[in-house]
Amino acid sequence: MHYTIQQTLQQAVPVLQQAGIESPRLEADILLTQVLGVQRSYLIAWSNRLLSDTEYQYFQVLITRRCAGEPIAYLTGHREFWSLDLLVSPAVLIPRPATETLVEQAIEHLNHLSNPVLADLGTGSGAIAIALAKECPAALIVAIDCQLDAICIAQANVQRLKINNVKLLCASWLNAIVPKSMDMLVSNPPYIAETDPHLTQGDVRFEPRTALTSGNEGLDDIRQLIQQAPLYLKNAGWLLLEHGYTQGEAVRILMQQQGFKHVSTIHDLEGQERVTIG
Ligand code: GLN
């Protein structure tokens, strides 16, 4: 038995809906465009086209995985960030809209510097580094991650998007950086508390724990970054950190204790404290 595009989508929508997927029609469309390697408009234009056995079975596998909660970004291998199409895999955190707030702030500060050198610590897919590289072509950006499989994804993104001012390094946090060499350090580090119940729901279940959690209060890596950053920053260099919406005050205090000046916290698009700068 062979089904058309339209019939296949009609079967999938209630299945996704029953699994609690919020936009079942949209997601069914996205997964079928992935299987067929086409744009969404093709599904409408060719709604009576029959699917081959392989296409149909591949689609059913994706639907089953999506119903089990796997993030759509991992099933398609793509996520849009800063209007860039980024490759993602389960080796990297899926870039979030809130992180665009960090990018915006970094750009604002980079615009006052000529030929700045900066590092993106824990780059993952390379999202922050690549967005900054696009916006600030004169900047040199070192993108660092301790996971080699993340560096491979970041490298693939750098090549696909033809970015030539991002250099990738596999290292732990600041270890590979020359002291007093950086105009800016940016990071979206892991900042969720290990016991946070949020970790048992939704997409985060499938994301790398090393990119998400950091000790009892989620502040272990942030604390370490703030303590070490002054050694690697030039005088008057900037540190920009993303953090949880309840961590603003703690991060400001840590920065001030470490001697950072001009410490302030910026809200994300949802109005939550999300990025602290010093
Ligand atoms: N903001 C993400 C979330 O709450 C976490 C990202 C991170 O830990 N850096 O799912």
**pLDDT averaged over consecutive 10-residue blocks of the chain (278 residues)?**
97 97 97 97 97 98 97 97 98 97 97 96 98 97 98 98 98 95 98 97 96 98 98 96 98 98 97 98
Atom of ligand 1 nearest to the CA of 122: 9
151 Cα: distance to centroid of ligand 1 (angstroms): 19
Q: What is the pLDDT of residue 18?
A: 97
Q: What is the pLDDT of residue 1?
A: 87
Buried b (16+ CB within 10 A) or exposed e, 233-262: beeebbbbbbbbeebbebbbebbeebebee
Q: What is the pLDDT of residue 108?
A: 97
The model carries a pTM of 0.94
> What is the residue range of 16's domain?
5-68
Does any ligand 1 atom lie closer than 6 A to the CB of residue 204?
Answer: yes
Atom of ligand 1 nearest to the CA of 191: 8
CATH code at position 132: 3.40.50.150
**Domain contains 73:** no
Give yes or no: residues 24 and 95 share one domain.
no
Q: Count CB-CB contacts under 10 A for residue 266.
A: 17
242 Cα: distance to centroid of ligand 1 (angstroms): 9
122 has binding-site annotation: yes
Does any ligand 1 atom lie closer than 6 A to the CB of residue 121?
Answer: no
Give yes or no: residues 164 and 253 share one domain.
yes
Q: Which residue is associated with the tokens 């615009």? A: 111
**Domain contains 78:** no
**Domain contains 179:** yes
Give the total number of structural domains in the chain. Answer: 2
Q: What is the pLDDT of residue 186?
A: 98
